[in-house]
């Protein structure tokens, strides 16, 4: 096993996969503004680069034994396209190795606002690598990772540790089935019953600091498409670079191979009971999402020929 020194990140190991023509490394990411050190898996194409890169933010199932596997599935698509992909673990160091999908205290300790600092820590770690083009780094995630992506790319409305990071931050972001029915900067929503139930009103504008694409499912009852459509429409009208595609007949986690099923234990603020959500794959949506992701990141992260 060949070992390599990498400035700005602690290297634990290196695995060369001849079949995939890629290298896999274990790094340590430091959240911007402080927080626990996060173990992170990095996958890179074969060669010296410089490559564009993507910080891949996992969903509420985390990266432990109950992980959905979505970050790896997307990395397997992106690395052959010439991207370095870094996948930090936001949950295990904070005490939630089995994820946060059922809600509880972890929704405050490791929510998407908190994880935005993890994303910018991942950006710093990527920029420290000699084979990464630091001007061409994107952020991506599904569900809780989509929540994190939206929190990462919204313009700050008050001073804080991320203000400077966002001035020279990500070049683009892509969120799969994110939560759009919560506050992001000036964008705010009102729910049917206090902090539960569907969105019944909204105000303000989501002000993106970089181009953002949202891919979501028409039938999603966990992170509904309607608030995302409203958010994107209002942002676009104000001149911000947001795009959205809503897949007919698709549920939450449409990019998985799982059967569609309802799980009563899942924490769901869009339900008046606060519980229960449906997830499951959709082959047509998954196939198109791969094309959307490819084309979006090619436009924003790869130099023009």
Whole-angstrom distance, CA of residue 126 vs CA of residue 79 = 14
CA distances from 27 to 11, 87, 122, 160 (A): 5, 9, 10, 26
Interhelix angle 112-127/144-153, nearest 10 degrees: 70
pTM: 0.91
Q: Which of 244, 187, 241 is nearest to 220 (CA)?
A: 244
Class of CATH domain 13-301: alpha beta
**Alpha-carbon span 172 to 61, nearest angstrom:** 24
Burial 127-163, CB ≥16 within 10 A → b, else e: eebebbbbebbbbbbbbbbbbbbbbbbbebeeeeebe
Strands 261-267 vs 275-279: parallel, antiparallel or unpaired = antiparallel
Query: From first to last of its 305 residues, what are the pLDDT tens digits of the chain?
Result: 232 333 334 333 333 333 346 789 999 999 999 999 999 999 999 999 999 999 999 999 999 888 999 999 999 999 999 999 999 999 999 999 998 888 776 678 899 999 999 999 999 999 999 999 999 999 999 999 999 999 999 999 888 889 999 999 999 999 999 999 999 999 999 998 888 888 889 999 999 999 999 999 999 999 999 999 999 999 999 999 999 999 999 999 999 999 999 999 999 999 999 999 999 999 999 999 999 999 999 999 997 76
The span from the CA of 250 to the CA of 230, in Å, is: 19
The span from the CA of 271 to the CA of 253, in Å, is: 18
Where are the domains positioned within the chain? 13-301
């Amino acid at each position: 096993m060949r070992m390599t020194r990498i400035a700005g990140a602690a290297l634990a190991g290196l695995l060369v996969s001849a079949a995939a023509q890629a290298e896999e490394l274990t790094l340590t990411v430091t959240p911007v503004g402080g927080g626990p050190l996060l173990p992170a898996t990095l996958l890179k194409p074969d060669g010296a680069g410089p490559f564009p890169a993507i910080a891949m933010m996992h969903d509420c199932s985390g990266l432990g034994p109950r992980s959905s596997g979505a970050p790896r599935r997307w990395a397997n698509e992106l690395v052959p396209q010439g991207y370095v992909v870094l996948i930090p673990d936001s949950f295990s160091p904070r005490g939630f190795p089995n994820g946060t999908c059922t809600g509880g205290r972890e929704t405050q300790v490791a929510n998407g606002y908190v994880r935005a600092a993890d994303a910018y820590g991942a950006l710093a770690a990527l920029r420290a690598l000699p084979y990464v083009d630091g001007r061409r780094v994107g952020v991506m995630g599904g569900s809780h990772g989509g929540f994190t992506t939206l929190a990462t790319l919204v313009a700050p409305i008050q001073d804080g540790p991320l203000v400077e990071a966002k001035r020279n931050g990500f070049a683009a972001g892509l969120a799969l089935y994110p939560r759009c029915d919560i506050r992001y900067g000036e964008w705010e929503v009102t729910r049917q019953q206090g902090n539960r139930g569907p969105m019944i009103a909204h105000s303000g504008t989501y002000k993106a600091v970089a181009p953002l694409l949202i891919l979501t499912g028409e039938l999603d009852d966990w992170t509904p498409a309607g608030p995302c459509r409203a958010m994107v429409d209002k942002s676009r009208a104000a001149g911000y670079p947001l795009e959205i595609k809503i897949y007919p007949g698709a549920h939450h986690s449409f990019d998985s191979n799982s059967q569609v099923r309802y799980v009563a234990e899942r924490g769901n603020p869009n339900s008046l009971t606060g519980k229960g959500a449906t997830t499951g794959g959709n082959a047509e949506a998954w196939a198109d999402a791969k094309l959307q992701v490819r084309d979006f990141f090619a436009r924003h992260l790869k130099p023009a020929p």
